[in-house]
Amino acid sequence: MPKLIVVTREGEERALDGQVGHSVMEIIRDAGIDELLALCGGCCSCATCHVHVDPEFAAKLPAMSADEDDLLDSTNDRDATSRLSCQLPFSEELDGLRVRIAEED
């Protein structure tokens, strides 16, 4: 099973079994990592599932939509590696993907 590596705000690193076809947000939420709020449940209508993605995987991710870009503009911790985890479908190709949960706004 492909792995998703999640770094919490406290710096704890966790390797999660990633279910292909689920979003990165769903995998993190289902693992019980509560600091990723995901208040909208994956509808791309908030930015509470904001993560920073390892740049090594950037080319393997789908392009950012205008809605995702607008929502990320509302966060204080946005940088070039910022993505909404609900917009990242997990696949075998993303085995080893490393994300860091963004600071809370």
Q: What is the pTM of this model?
A: 0.96
Residues 6 or more apart whose Cβ sits within 8 Å of residue 82:
50, 51, 52, 53, 72, 75, 102
Count of structural domains, the chain: 1
> Could you read off the pLDDT of 42-53 as tens digits, one per residue?
999 999 999 999
What's the CATH number where 97 sits? 3.10.20.30
Give pLDDT tens digits along the chain (105 positions): 999 999 999 999 999 999 999 999 999 999 999 999 999 999 999 999 999 999 999 999 999 999 999 999 999 999 999 999 999 999 999 999 999 999 998
Element (DSSP H or E) covering residue 25 = helix 24-30
Using the CB atoms, write b or e for 64-81: b if 16+ within 10 Å.
eeeebeebbeebeebeee
Residue-range definition of the domain harbouring residue 55: 3-101
